[in-house]
Structure formats: structure tokens, C-alpha cells
Amino acid sequence: MRNTELEKLHGLVGEWTTTMSNAWFLDPPGQEVRGTTTIERLGESLLVVRTTLGETAHHTEMSLVIGRSDPNDAYFVLYQDERGVCRLYAMTFGDGHWTMSRTDPDFHQRFIGDVEADRIVGRWEASEDQGQTWRKDFDLTFERKPEAGAAAQAG
């Protein structure tokens, strides 16, 4: 039996074309890095998100596992990437908005996204002063691949 609260994330499942843009750390400024994201179920109560961006100079691989603590009535995300970084995020999802945030001692970080049926437009932000001021790290846009959209609609 599928977790009913995780079922609210069903629209995320599928194949996405992913674009990172407006990143302060990319040179030259204005450069876009393209890639793919796959979101799939892991059992009845988890989603796995795998993203690969770029090919050589800006190659990034990251994974998220999205789950939910039913007793705490809250979503959680476990993040890892090719650098060996591992982070825990609190997550909200609903009414066309998707957020992930962490308030760790090294710095605070958040993702803010607007979710449509076949497109997610979001941005990652960071704060080095415990959330007093925020700077944008980069924009991240997901567009559902057409062949995946038909399968998701049928599921």
C-alpha cells in the first residue's frame, strides 16, 4: 500500500530535461549547463531523484531520497553528490510550490520551486549569516520529457 502523503508527489515521477542557469560560480557569466533528472519510486514510501548536469568542466551528479515522517507530519530529503557531500533538508510540497531547506552550522540553504504539470522552475539560495541575508546560487529548471509525460499521465 503506497504512502498516501507521498502520493501527492506522484506528478514528479518521470524523466526531466534539467537546466542550471544564472549561477554565480559559472564562467563565463550567463552560461547554462544542461542535463537530465530521473525521479522514480523506491518502494511504497520513498522517491529517488537522480540528476546529472554537464559533461566535463561543470559535470555534477547528485541524488536525493525523498521520504516522509508520518508521526512528524513532515517530508525530509537526504542529499548527496559526487563530492561526497551529504545533507538533510526539510521539505514542503503543495499548492504548486516545492521547498527544501536546511539550517546547518556551516551555512543555511534552500530550494524554492514553482511546480506545473510539465515544468518546475526553481532556484537554490544560500546564507552564511544564519538566514539574515540570502544570495542566489543558481536557477534550476526541469522540463518533462515528452515521452515521459505520456507515461506519467497514464500512471
| pLDDT tens digits, 78-104 | 999 999 999 999 999 999 999 999 999
pTM of the model: 0.88
DSSP 93-150: EETTEEEEEEE-SS-EEEEEEEE-SSEEEEEEEEESSTTSS-EEEEEEEEEE-HHHHH
| pLDDT tens digits, 28-59 | 888 899 999 999 999 988 999 999 998 766 68
Q: Please give the CATH topology (third level) of the domain spanning 6-154.
A: Lipocalin (2.40.128)
